């Protein structure tokens, strides 16, 4: 008994102390302000409050306000009402938008109305409805954080501020500290050789440990410069040039150099040789080895003499002059390519030259024959042999090997009918057309590139085709960049399982754009994927494994695809090269099977209230009246109400495919129950169309008190009237004396903003919806809003016949006085009992 009395005394003493402290000025500071967010300010502004007391807690009540020139109420939408020592409150203009901007925020979030001036203003808090203020803070644009994605952070207890070092600021956390700047790295990717006037590519493979934006300065050693990350340059004279690159983050810089040897072109070398010894000099010329026989048509439909042809292809990034090159068949006849038969004998990079039989005089046999390509010095460069030719089919190089195809592609990329859906992508290496008789120097990727693996977290294998229908030469694989930054893949590799094919190195100019795809065909990579078991791998420039995907028993004409939503691999008949993969299906159904399956699904009929009690995922059918036709309150949303107007519901279509619906139409819908932000809705089934049954007049709802609004009215038509107490953008806050509600004008409804100010009386009708910050009313049409006179200029508007009003300050003081008197009386009584027990036992 004695112990209980002691504890009660202690509790009451603590209670009285807390009540007294609650009437004194809270030791809170406005600690951080996002007054001018990057981009649009509306709904994205916020400020942070911190408790700087030693051990005092403060309780947020309905009397608290934030003042930015006007007083605004505060409503907790996440967290609790108490702020303890060292804790933070974040007060935001729109809680929903804030949580979208800061999805990881888990602290106390308070919704209010903010309209912060971008040039500066004073902010303050009040715990007595704006009678007195504390935590007064003044900010100015000169302090920083103006439209650059950063916030203003308090440095000390005075009025010293800094621009946040972190983009987005630090809401609900300690303010950011200055970080030590690290220098960027610099690396050059470029060919070490070239010829006079040849356009060479130069790429800065540079990173910054701090993620700072970088600037680039190239000096090509011939007075040429550039400030691009990736650029091109040509040199006018044969010489050895030292190319330098300087990379800067604005404070620190790094440099790199590369020597580039530029030779004269073969034409110039030949002209010089004529002055000395033309024959001796000609023997020192090495012609390009990047021309190939790409496709031949030995047995065309109709006359062979008119339609036979041979196609040559330039594999390199350089122009090649074929004047003087030779073609032949199995006979001794040779045809020399010349400028009289062609308007242009110089073939562009990755270009084609088609030689007709009428030009060459070469008659290809329909049986066994061959085509040979010779360089001007008589050296055999390429040879293709074939057996019996099928009429109308060409013999084309696909996947690195020749095969017959019924889809001839004269002067275009080769195709076969089985792989017409495969996207062709060439990623060739640069080559010099003519070089002197010295060891051949090819462009190679610098494998000592410095890179940060963290920058490549979004790089993934998204799909590959290991077992296409028909020849497996139509295999391909797809890489995907699941990030918002470009990825430089120069020098990276793709490969199959270790010990299989030779790893394929991606070319110097390979950049994978944000959320982009990179298709790699077998004809480019040379990778041969096994049908029974294999692995597809990505290797970094040091040939270390970055990512590997294993598979077994490849299904014919199925791709192995990654589902980003469910994060799982699956075999898919819906092949999507260069596109987002379709979700995994346990069974591939034809449209007829889908329709049959849909017919077999049962959709029990429910009322709106019954449907709201169903679990998510349950199938249901509903008959209701259209209150908000599609598109007005959302591109995929409409609202229905029970025919007796008792309850309403949101209807959602994933593709927004609705018939032309009007208010008052009685319709039948079928779908699955879902829930968004606590509001139940029906997701329509794609193959179950909305059925229009009848047309019924929709009666306007009766005027009701805001305090009477509850969850049972979500989705229904509601009508309220009250005084406009706050307005921010498309949000209007009405108070009818019983409570407050937010009216929100959706842009899709096309309702003009009413010309009102605080104090006006507004009567609004609309659909009641639920958000994380509470109820909101969504008007549907222009006439759903009626504006009356300013409050006080006409008779007072009451929702009840008689009401006794106690002024807020008097009411608070009376409550505190009553509590203190009651607690004091109990304390005196209990103290007497303690004395009695101690001295008169």
**Distance from C-alpha of 671 to C-alpha of 688, rounded to nearest angstrom:** 8
φ, ψ for residue 534, nearest 5 deg: -165, 180
DSSP states along 523-543: HHH-----SSEEEEEEE-TT-
Report CA dihedral (222, 224, 230, 236) to the nearest 10 degrees: -60
CB of 49 closer than 8 Å to CB of 135: yes
Nearest 5 degrees, angle CA 307-CA 313-CA 319? 125
Burial classification of residue 548, based on how many CB atoms lie within 10 Å of its CB (0-12 exposed, 13-18 middle, 19 or more buried): middle
Query: What are 155's strand-pairing partners?
Result: none
CB of 79 closer than 8 Å to CB of 105: no
Nearest one of 256, 259, 218 to 242, comparing CA atoms: 259
The 3-state DSSP composition of the chain as helix, strand, coil percent (nearest 5) reads: 15, 35, 50
- 3-class DSSP state for residue 718? strand
Residues in CB range of 306: below 8 A, 6 or more apart:
300, 357, 358
By DSSP bridging, strand 215-219 and strand 291-297 are unpaired
Burial classification of residue 129, based on how many CB atoms lie within 10 Å of its CB (0-12 exposed, 13-18 middle, 19 or more buried): middle
**Residue 600 tokens, joined:** 């077999």
**Distance from C-alpha of 615 to C-alpha of 638, rounded to nearest angstrom:** 21
**Residue 627 tokens, joined:** 């209150």
Nearest one of 205, 238, 208 to 222, comparing CA atoms: 238
pLDDT at 582: 67
pTM here?
0.31
**Distance from C-alpha of 645 to C-alpha of 122, rounded to nearest angstrom:** 48
Nearest one of 551, 545, 553 to 568, comparing CA atoms: 551
Nearest one of 96, 54, 47 to 72, comparing CA atoms: 47
Q: Which long-range contacts (CB under 8 A, 24 or more apart) does 4-11 make?
A: 5/830, 5/833, 5/834, 5/837, 6/834, 8/826, 8/830, 9/827, 9/830, 9/831, 9/834
Nearest one of 682, 693, 663 to 621, comparing CA atoms: 682
The ranges of the chain with pLDDT < 70 are: 1-23, 178-180, 265-286, 317, 399-400, 415-451, 470-472, 565-566, 582-602, 654, 677, 687, 772, 789-841
**Distance from C-alpha of 761 to C-alpha of 832, rounded to nearest angstrom:** 57
Q: What is the Cα 380 distance to its own chain's centre?
A: 52
Residues belonging to the chain? 841
DSSP 8-class letter at 303: -
CB of 124 closer than 8 Å to CB of 82: no
CA distances from 294 to 317, 356, 412, 458 (A): 17, 14, 10, 37
pLDDT at 457: 82
By DSSP bridging, strand 760-771 and strand 717-728 are antiparallel
CB of 182 closer than 8 Å to CB of 208: yes
Residues in CB range of 488: below 8 A, 6 or more apart:
203, 205, 451, 510, 511
First to last CA, the chain: 13
Helices 2-22 and 808-839, axial angle in degrees (round to 10): 150
CB of 558 closer than 8 Å to CB of 467: yes
pLDDT at 806: 32
Report all structural domains of the chain as residue ranges with CATH numbers, in order of start. 2-163 (no CATH), 188-263 (2.60.40.10), 295-436 (2.60.40), 455-572 (2.60.40.1260), 598-695 (2.40.50.200), 706-790 (2.40.50.140)
By DSSP bridging, strand 740-744 and strand 774-778 are parallel
Nearest one of 133, 177, 134, 135 to 153, comparing CA atoms: 177
Q: pLDDT digit string (tens) for 279-319?
A: 434 434 557 888 899 999 999 887 777 789 999 988 776 78
pLDDT at 556: 84
pLDDT at 297: 92
Nearest one of 361, 371, 324 to 346, comparing CA atoms: 324
pLDDT at 713: 92
**Distance from C-alpha of 46 to C-alpha of 589, rounded to nearest angstrom:** 50
Q: What is the Cα 298 distance to its own chain's centre?
A: 51
**Which residue in this structure is represented by tokens 């040879």?**
383
Q: pLDDT digit string (tens) for 431-464?
A: 333 322 233 333 333 444 566 777 888 899 999 9
pLDDT at 726: 92
DSSP states along 205-254: ----TT----EEEEE-SSS-EE--SEEEE--SS-EEEEEEEEEE-SS-EE
CB atoms within 10 A of CB 108: 21
pLDDT at 780: 93
**Distance from C-alpha of 399 to C-alpha of 420, rounded to nearest angstrom:** 13
DSSP states along 95-108: HHHHHHH-TT--SE
């Amino acid at each position: 008994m004695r112990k209980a009395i002691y504890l009660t005394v202690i509790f009451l003493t603590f209670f009285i102390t807390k009540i007294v402290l609650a009437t004194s000025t809270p030791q809170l500071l406005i600690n951080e302000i996002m007054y001018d967010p990057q981009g649009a300010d509306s709904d994205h502004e916020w400020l942070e409050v911190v408790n700087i007391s030693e051990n005092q807690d403060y309780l947020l009540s309905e009397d608290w306000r934030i003042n930015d020139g006007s007083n605004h109420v505060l409503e907790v939408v996440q967290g609790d009402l108490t702020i303890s020592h060292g804790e933070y409150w974040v007060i935001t203009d729109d809680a929903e938008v804030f949580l979208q901007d800061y999805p990881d925020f888990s602290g106390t979030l308070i919704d209010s109305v903010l309209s912060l001036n971008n040039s500066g203003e004073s902010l303050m808090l009040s715990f007595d409805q704006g009678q007195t203020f504390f935590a007064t803070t003044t900010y100015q644009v000169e302090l920083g954080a103006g439209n650059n994605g950063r916030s203003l952070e308090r440095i000390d207890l005075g009025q010293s501020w800094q621009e946040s070092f972190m983009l987005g600021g630090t809401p609900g956390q300690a303010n950011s500290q200055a970080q030590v700047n690290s220098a960027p790295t610099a690396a050059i990717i470029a060919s070490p050789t070239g010829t006079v006037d040849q356009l060479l590519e130069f790429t800065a493979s540079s990173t910054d440990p701090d993620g700072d934006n970088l600037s680039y300065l190239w000096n090509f050693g011939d007075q040429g410069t550039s400030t691009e990350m990736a650029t091109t340059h040509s040199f006018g004279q044969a010489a050895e040039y030292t190319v330098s690159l300087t990379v800067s983050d604005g404070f620190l810089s790094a440099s790199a150099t590369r020597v580039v040897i530029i030779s004269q072109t073969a034409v110039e070398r030949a002209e010089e040789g004529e002055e000395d010894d033309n024959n001796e000099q000609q023997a020192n010329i090495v012609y390009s080895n990047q021309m190939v026989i790409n496709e031949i048509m030995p047995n065309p439909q109709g006359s062979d003499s008119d339609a036979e042809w041979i196609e040559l292809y330039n594999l390199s990034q350089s122009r090649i002059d074929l004047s003087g090159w030779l073609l032949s068949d199995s006979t001794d006849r040779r045809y020399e390519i010349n400028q009289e038969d062609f308007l242009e004998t110089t073939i562009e990079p990755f270009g084609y030259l088609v030689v007709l039989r009428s030009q060459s005089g070469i008659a290809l046999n329909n049986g066994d024959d061959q085509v040979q390509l010779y360089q001007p010095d008589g050296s055999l460069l390429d040879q293709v042999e074939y057996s019996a030719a099928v009429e109308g089919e060409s013999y084309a190089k696909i996947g690195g090997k020749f095969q017959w195809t019924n889809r001839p592609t004269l002067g275009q990329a080769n195709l076969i009918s089985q792989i017409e859906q495969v996207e062709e992508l060439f990623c060739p290496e640069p080559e010099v057309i003519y070089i002197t008789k010295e060891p051949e120097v090819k462009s190679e990727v610098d494998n000592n590139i410095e890179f940060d693996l963290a920058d490549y977290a979004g790089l993934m294998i998204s799909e590959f085709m290991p077992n296409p229908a028909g020849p497996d030469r139509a295999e391909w694989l797809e890489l995907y960049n699941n990030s918002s930054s470009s990825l430089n893949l120069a020098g990276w590799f793709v490969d199959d399982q270790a010990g299989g094919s030779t790893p394929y190195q991606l070319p110097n100019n390979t950049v994978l754009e944000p959320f982009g795809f990179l298709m790699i065909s077998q004809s480019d990579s040379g990778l041969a994927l096994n049908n029974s078991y294999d692995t597809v791998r990505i290797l970094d420039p040091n040939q270390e494994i970055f990512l590997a995907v294993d598979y077994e028993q490849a299904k014919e004409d199925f791709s192995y695809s990654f589902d980003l939503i469910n994060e799982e691999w699956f075999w898919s008949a819906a092949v999507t090269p260069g596109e987002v993969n379709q979700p995994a299906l346990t069974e591939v159904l034809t449209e007829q099977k889908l329709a049959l399956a849909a017919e077999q699904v049962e959709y029990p009929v429910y009322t709106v209230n019954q449907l709201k009690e169903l679990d998510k995922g349950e199938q249901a059918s509903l008959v209701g009246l259209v209150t908000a036709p599609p598109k007005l309150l959302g591109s995929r949303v409409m609202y229905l109400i029970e025919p007796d107007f008792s309850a309403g519901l949101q209807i959602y279509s994933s593709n927004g495919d609705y018939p032309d619906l009007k208010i008052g139409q009685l319709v039948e819908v079928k779908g699955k129950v879902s829930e968004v932000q606590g509001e139940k809705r029906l997701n329509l089934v794609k193959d179950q169309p909305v059925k229009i049954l009848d047309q019924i007049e929709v009666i306007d709802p009766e005027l009701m008190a805001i305090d009477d609004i509850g969850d049972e009215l979500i989705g229904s038509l509601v009508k309220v009237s009250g005084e406009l107490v706050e307005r921010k953008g498309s949000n209007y806050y009405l108070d009818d004396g019983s409570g407050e509600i937010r009216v929100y004008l959706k842009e899709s409804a096309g309702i003009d903003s009413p010309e009102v100010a605080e104090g006006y009386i507004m009567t609004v009708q609309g659909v009641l919806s639920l958000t994380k910050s509470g109820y909101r009313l969504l008007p549907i049409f222009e006439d759903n809003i009626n504006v009356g006179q300013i409050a006080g200029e006409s008779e007072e508007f009451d929702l009840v016949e008689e009401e006794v009003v106690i002024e807020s300050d008097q009411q608070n003081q009376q409550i505190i006085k009553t509590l203190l008197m009651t607690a004091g009386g109990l304390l005196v009584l209990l103290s007497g009992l303690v004395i009695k027990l101690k001295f008169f036992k």
